[in-house]
Each structure stands twice: as C-alpha cells, then as structure tokens.
Amino acid sequence: MEARTALVTHMFQVALDQLSIDEPAVHDDTDLYFEDGNIILQAEQTRFRLHKSIITARCPVFRDMLSFPQPAQNELIDGCVVVKLPDTANDAGLFFRAIYDYSFFEAPPAPAIVEDTLSILSLSHKYDVPNLHRRALAHLSTAHVCTLEEWDAEDSTALTFRDIEGSIADPLLRMIEVVYEVNALWLLPTIFYLCCSHPLQKILDSPQWISGSICETHKRTVLLGWAKQQHETLSFQKALIHAPTANCITHAACAAHVRRWDVSVMAVKGDKLPGGISPLASNGGQKFYYERLCQPCSQSMKTMAEQKRIAFWNMLPSLFGLPGWDELMKMKAAALKCIP
Ligand SMILES: [Zn+2]
C-alpha cells in the first residue's frame, strides 16, 4: 500500500513537473502591454494589451473577428476582453511590433533578420495586412533572386540569419514552408538550392525536419531535389576535368593537375559532400583550379564552366518541381508592385 501511495505521489509530482515545463506562467509582454490598451490578445503564454482601434484599422481580419460580440465567458483582465490566438508568442510579438512601430521593420535596403521576416510574412498573410506582407516579401526577394546576374551581384542584400555561426539548413526549411504558405514561389529555387547544398544528414537532423512542421509533400520535394542537385553538381565538376584541351601547351602538367584536383574534390571529407565547388559559386571559387592550368586550358575551362553555370541556373526551378523563371518572375512582379 505504501509503495502504491509513493508511486501515486511520484506520478503526481511528475505530472506537476510536466505541467510546469509545458505550461510556463502566463505573462505580459514587456513592450506591448499598453496601460491604455483596451483589448488583450494572448498568444501561447504571452499577453499583448493593445488598442482595438489600431489593430482593427490595420488588420481587416481582426476587425471582423472583434466586431462579433465576445462570448460572455471570455475572461476579463485589467478590464479588457482576452482573445486567444493560435499563433506562437514569438510570431505574434514580431507582427504586433511591426504594426505599431514602422521603424521596427522598414522596407529594404534597411537590414532585416530572416527568422523575424518569416514570422511577419506568415502573420501579415494570415491577418491580411498587405503593406507589411509586401515589405516582408521584398526583403526575402533581395536575397532570393530570379536572375543569375542578380545572384552574382555581391552585397545585394541586407538580409541576415540570426544565428550566423550555426547551420542555416533549419531556417531555410522553415522558409520553404512559410513561402509555400504565402505562395511566393519565385523565392523557392534559391532557397531550395541553399538548403540542398547541405549534407543530407544535416537536413534530416534539423529541428524543423524532426518537429513535423514540414509537410510530407515538401519533404519529398527536398529529398528528390537534393538528389538531382547533387547529380548536377557532380556532373558540373566532372566537366571541369576535360583538360588538357586540344590547344594545351603544357600537356603533362595540366593532366597531372586535373588528376589531382579530381581526386581531391571527389573525396568525401567529414560531413562535407564530395565535390567542393557548386555550379553557382562564382569563378572565384574555382580560382585555384584555373591557376594551375596553362592559359589555353584555363580559358577553355572557364568558358565551358560559365555555360554550365547558366544551364544549371536555367534548370534550377525544375529540380524542385517549380515553374520556369519567366513564370516565376511574372509572379514576383505582380506580388511586389507598389512596395510600401
Ligand atoms: Zn593545358
């Protein structure tokens, strides 16, 4: 009997601990809890005390939602009706900040953080705030471009990841999900490309992949696209070993260099993929390779590589089941016209 009591007490304690782990206490947001606010919106365990007039003027969805009489059983806190939202506290906080303070999320070329931009993009789409939505799309579009010329233009974006030291596979996976949600397909080829430049294991181990927040269809697109991209990358690198060329002036040296380079780039090193050179890396990435070839071989390989890069760029959307660049560019132009 004593053992059973001890077990029940233990289970009760575990349940209590679980409760305290799963459900932290409800708290007020430090910035967005205005004394003269007249509506409380709660996301997860965070309360935002805001102004009905501001929220409803900026978000038609809230106007509709709050125009209905609130159920009598809705709790009142500080004299305000509490409306619970299904969003994360992080997303809601960023979204409300962007609504209240224009300088918090300015249009490009102002800098922006990828992770925050995705939160604002997702909720501005959901709650129908077109200006904010376009601003978020404009930020993502500075990095996720539709032409190879834009891709090669350095420093064209002020968009950065929050954790620049860690793997960006995780935020890229979230980006894929949010971008599909808002149907901004023109952003996807380069997002998929960057994501699939990671070793497969890194993608499969990333929290977004494991958490189940990526739908099965998009997981399939990532996996099939990863294999196709890997195939194209390797075939690009194999094309580079077609030296010595007919015009070679140092045949033995060029042949030896190409053999060494081939062995070195095709080797699997640690968690790195075989082949260190991506088709979309600029020629600078292959500098070492060209430098050791004779001038005619070097010139010939550079020309060939440039043609292959262009071909790879043109096929990139198709690797991930997306429409061609022309169609994607039309979608982009329609969505971004009159950027606020
Ligand atoms: Zn040569």
- In what side-by-side order are the strands of the sheet with 46-50? 27-33, 46-50, 39-43, 80-85, 76-77
User: Lowest-confidence range among 25-29, 50-54, 263-267, 332-336?
Assistant: 263-267
Cα(253) to centroid(ligand 1), Å: 7
Q: Is it the case that residue 262 has pLDDT exceeding 90?
A: no
Type and span of the H or E element at 251: helix 251-266
Q: How far apart are the first and last CA of the chain?
A: 71
Cα(246) to centroid(ligand 1), Å: 8
Centre a 10 Å sphere on the Cβ of residue 111 and count the other Cβ atoms it contains: 11
CB 322, CB 188: distance < 8 Å: yes
CB 80, CB 28: distance < 8 Å: no
Domain ranges of the chain: 22-87, 229-320
CB 65, CB 85: distance < 8 Å: no
Cα(41) to centroid(ligand 1), Å: 69
**pLDDT value for 89:** 97
Cα(301) to centroid(ligand 1), Å: 10
Cα(128) to centroid(ligand 1), Å: 60
**pLDDT value for 8:** 47
Strand, coil or helix: what is 29?
Answer: strand
Q: Is it the case that residue 23 has pLDDT exceeding 70?
A: no
Cα(269) to centroid(ligand 1), Å: 28
Cα(265) to centroid(ligand 1), Å: 19
Backbone φ, ψ for residue 136 (5° rounding): -65, -40
Comparing 18 with 265, which gets the higher pLDDT?
Answer: 265
CB 322, CB 189: distance < 8 Å: yes
For a pLDDT cut of 70, what percent of the chain falls above it? Answer: 85
Task: Look up the pTM and report it.
Answer: 0.86
Cα(242) to centroid(ligand 1), Å: 10
